[in-house]
Structure 1
Amino acid sequence: MARSQASARVVVIGGGIGGATVAKYLAANAAGIEVTLVEPKARYTTCFFSALYLAGMRSLESLTHGYETLAQRYGIKIVHDFAAAIDPVAKTVNLKSGGKLPYDRLVLAPGIAFKFDAIEGYDEAATKIMPHAWIAGPQTELLRQQLDSMEDGGVFLIVSPPNPFRCPPGPYERASLVAYYFKQFKPRSKILILDAKDSFFEQELFQDAWVRHYPGMIEWLPAQFTGGIKAVDIKDLSVKTAGETFKGAVVNFIPPQMAGGLAQQAGLADQSGWCPVEPRTFESKLQRGIHIVGDATSGGDMPKSAFLANSQAKVCAFAIAAALTGSARFAPHLFNTCFTFLAADDAVSDAIALEPEGGAIKISEILISEVGEDAETRRQVVKAANGWYDAFTHDVFG
């Protein structure tokens, strides 16, 4: 509990969607709380919609956002530094630069880290040759450069990770929009998806679109067919499965994932690699006084998506405000909205409502686009998606 209403201090680590939303909603709605946001990067590039950049349909700059409004309009103190360690007893965050930040409540939005030891031959150095592009920015630019320089007739090889991972439709949307680019500029090229799974989210919608838009261009091989991903060789751009070795002109290897490094270091992740949280407050089940939002969390049926991170962050912000200032408590309502592009004029959507139930978070309602919708319906989803992006990022970054 804070010493007084005027001196309550909340430190938020991580300036992605979840962290920026917590900071903004605390600063905007809870008088008497001093909010500090710790984020090493000056600007944030969204992973969502980055497949449009790969397809040449958006610039990376259009997906990149700063923290100026959060500082100027909402009075949030922005610290561009790395959080090196957490002392939960002293309630301080140690910064890489040597400084310390005291807190009454701490929020982590650490995002994801990669299990580089999971597949033989794929380590951090390998990402310079086989980019994952699963954290947007330089990796996305590298993958775009590789696709641009690839000769027509080459194979773009995508390795899709096991569940759970950030953005379940992401690898398949990426395949769709790279196919859109190939169809225009490299029509003899092919895309091969080697999957660590036997099925994937919205599979029927994707496979229907691949037949309609890109016949013969995209091939998907499930784990039961390949026997699973065993190793990579960056020297000859190959991926070895249990039964065969596949080579690509460009290889996009998306590794297995876990909660971001600081969460692991601070003991906030369990044996699953993710951070269990209380479903009504997003307080850590392993460390009281510390809250976790975004892709790092576990706790039921929550997909790892930007919109859900935003929804979690609002629940978390109001729970912290109630704990520190005595403001009204609200029953948590979580929502996820996701738009997925299949071509320039063809997009689908899903909407999910979630509620706490028995110590976890369960899906209460789900609506998803259907196979067979007419072209005009899909064009309207494209229009809605572009409007949603602008409104959503404004909600997060001001």
Structure 2
Amino acid sequence: MSLNRRSFLGTGLALGAALSAPAVIGQARPRVVIVGGGAGGATAARYIAKDSGGAIDVVLIEPGKTYYTCFFSNLYLGGFRDFASIAHDYGRLASRYGINVIHDLAVDIDREARSVALASGHALGYDRLIVSPGIDFVDGAVPGWDLTVQNRMPHAWKAGSQTQLLKAQIEAMREGGVFCMVAPPDPYRCPPGPYERVSMVAHVLKDRNPTAKILIVDPKEKFSKQALFEEGWGRHYPGMIERVGPDFGAANVEVRPDSMEVVIDGTPEAVDVCNVIPAQKAGHIAGLAGLANDSGFCPIVPGTMQSRIDETIHVLGDATIAGDMPKSAFSANSQAKVAAMQVRAALTGARAFPAKYSNTCWSLIDTGDGVKVGASYQAAEDKIAKVDGFVSQTGEDAALRKATFEESLGWYAGITADIFG
């Protein structure tokens, strides 16, 4: 299916028009507070404000005034986009949709009082709460690494200054140096993302530093679109990329930032750049609010995105246990529309339709060589379940791969407009 900005927005606009409800007259407006202004939170804010016709007071809490998309940040690393192209602000959400955008940090949620505490000292009451906090890293997941050493061994798994730092380190590598990625265990944000990143680093090194090597230290036996990536690496970057899996010690890894070493099953390897992507969990505020279980992520009701722990709260995106759906921006955007519909139904009496979800993840391997994987989903009793899916095939011709990449550009324009207005 070919996606562009017009078709992507058209689907959402038609759905919003069908579900719109008049404002409630003669009483105070109910308030929805949304914590997190990424693909899930910002989408939910826009759809609730747009489709409720002013009946709901929508408040979006997000500390950053500029949001840098983790999706497509790999293309910035590879030189296919500039940094400004992955930057988005919240001005349209405020000016066009009347959303109260508060640039502050949510530091606590009092579920009994239905109140969100902010770092500034203020508190906001809510009738419904949407929590879309993205991911944080599991403490001690990679021995030797924590946030205090992220400038020496960047994660760049939250886009922004970390992405710029990693790009600078790659471009400054000595001739014939080693770029190492410590890949994360399942589950994690954007399953194809680490391997697209390897592809983009290889694309840069092929031109700037062709004798350099890339080492992937991966605790997983397999990864998303593995056959497609490995085919592409063999075609575009022969001899440059080596992957060490758990059978060869990658399940036992530590890092030494001071000496720039990665220790694999007791054997030190000297590296020049080390991109450490640790194990992940739901963003910190979700844990503080008691919305996460022992997995570190948040269980949800598949048909509504409500927390299984508190029915007045909906949880979106990377923070959730979403069954068969991957942790991607497309998933978060899809889940946000379901949550927005359910919130409007609860607060204004608008009609709610059965939940439907979708996702596609595109990846660029080299110039004009794009691949994708995707699926549609529906709510089952115990999880969001895959209905059908598709994936690019090995051996596809160059014209199809180029068309797949161009489709991804249209998707990015469409989804960022859908998120930020």
TM-score by length of 1: 0.98
- 1:65 to partner: Cα distance: 0.3
Instruction: Answer yes or no: is 1:10 the counterpart of 2:32.
Output: yes
Using the alignment, how far apart are the partners of 1:143 and 1:155 within structure 2? 14
- 1:243 to partner: Cα distance: 4.4
The letter of the residue matching 2:57 is: E
The 8 Å contact of residues 14 and 109 in structure 1, kept in 2 or not, is answered as: yes
User: Partner of 2:219 in structure 1?
Assistant: 196
User: Partner of 2:165 in structure 1?
Assistant: 142
Cα deviation digits, residues 89-117 of structure 1 (max 9, x gap): 11111111011111100000010000132
Q: Mean Cα displacement is larger for which, 84-93 or 157-166?
A: 84-93
Using the alignment, how far apart are the partners of 1:245 and 1:316 within structure 2? 48
Using the alignment, how far apart are the partners of 2:285 and 2:133 within structure 1? 7
Alignment of structure 1 residues 1-398 onto 2, 5 Å? 6-31=28-53, 32-398=55-421
Q: How much is the aligned-residue C-alpha RMSD, in angstroms?
A: 1.3
Using the alignment, how far apart are the partners of 1:166 and 1:392 within structure 2? 17
Structure 2 residue matching 1:107: 3-state secondary structure: strand
Structure 2 residue matching 1:182: 3-state secondary structure: helix
Structure 1 residue matching 2:146: 3-state secondary structure: coil
The letter of the residue matching 2:42 is: A
Cα deviation digits, residues 237-278 of structure 1 (max 9, x gap): 111122422221000010000000000111100000000000
Using the alignment, how far apart are the partners of 1:124 and 1:76 within structure 2? 33
Q: Mean Cα displacement is larger for which, 355-364 or 3-12?
A: 3-12
- 1:182 to partner: Cα distance: 0.7
The 8 Å contact of residues 119 and 229 in structure 1, kept in 2 or not, is answered as: no
The 8 Å contact of residues 341 and 382 in structure 1, kept in 2 or not, is answered as: yes
The 8 Å contact of residues 229 and 239 in structure 1, kept in 2 or not, is answered as: no
The letter of the residue matching 1:174 is: R
Structure 2 residue matching 1:396: 3-state secondary structure: helix
Structure 1 residue matching 2:143: 3-state secondary structure: coil
Using the alignment, how far apart are the partners of 1:388 and 1:123 within structure 2? 34
Q: Mean Cα displacement is larger for which, 54-63 or 17-26?
A: 54-63
The letter of the residue matching 1:204 is: A
Using the alignment, how far apart are the partners of 1:171 and 1:229 within structure 2? 19
- 1:164 to partner: Cα distance: 0.1
Using the alignment, how far apart are the partners of 1:125 and 1:309 within structure 2? 29
The 8 Å contact of residues 169 and 201 in structure 1, kept in 2 or not, is answered as: yes
The letter of the residue matching 1:132 is: H
Structure 2 residue matching 1:342: 3-state secondary structure: strand
Structure 1 349/5 Cα, relative in aligned 2: closer, same or farther at 3 Å?
A: farther
- 1:227 to partner: Cα distance: 4.8
- 1:49 to partner: Cα distance: 0.8
- 1:82 to partner: Cα distance: 0.4
Unaligned runs of 5+ in 1: none
Using the alignment, how far apart are the partners of 2:37 and 2:43 within structure 1? 9
User: Partner of 2:12 in structure 1?
Assistant: none
The 8 Å contact of residues 218 and 250 in structure 2, kept in 1 or not, is answered as: no
The letter of the residue matching 2:32 is: V
Structure 2 residue matching 1:295: 3-state secondary structure: helix
- 1:351 to partner: Cα distance: 1.9
Using the alignment, how far apart are the partners of 2:203 and 2:250 within structure 1? 29
Q: Mean Cα displacement is larger for which, 234-243 or 190-199?
A: 234-243
The letter of the residue matching 1:376 is: A
TM-score by length of 2: 0.92
- 1:300 to partner: Cα distance: 1.2
The 8 Å contact of residues 225 and 373 in structure 2, kept in 1 or not, is answered as: no
Using the alignment, how far apart are the partners of 1:196 and 1:207 within structure 2? 17
Q: How many residues align?
A: 397
The 8 Å contact of residues 157 and 247 in structure 1, kept in 2 or not, is answered as: no
The 8 Å contact of residues 37 and 78 in structure 1, kept in 2 or not, is answered as: yes
Structure 1 391/27 Cα, relative in aligned 2: closer, same or farther at 3 Å?
A: same
Using the alignment, how far apart are the partners of 1:301 and 1:270 within structure 2? 18
Structure 1 residue matching 2:334: 3-state secondary structure: helix
The 8 Å contact of residues 113 and 257 in structure 1, kept in 2 or not, is answered as: yes
Cα deviation digits, residues 208-235 of structure 1 (max 9, x gap): 0001000001111111112513321001
Cα deviation digits, residues 126-161 of structure 1 (max 9, x gap): 111100000000110110111111112100000101
Structure 2 residue matching 1:11: 3-state secondary structure: strand
Identity of aligned residues (%): 47
- 1:81 to partner: Cα distance: 0.3
Using the alignment, how far apart are the partners of 2:230 and 2:318 within structure 1? 27
Unaligned runs of 5+ in 2: 1-23
- 1:356 to partner: Cα distance: 1.1
Using the alignment, how far apart are the partners of 2:221 and 2:345 within structure 1? 44
The 8 Å contact of residues 5 and 324 in structure 1, kept in 2 or not, is answered as: no
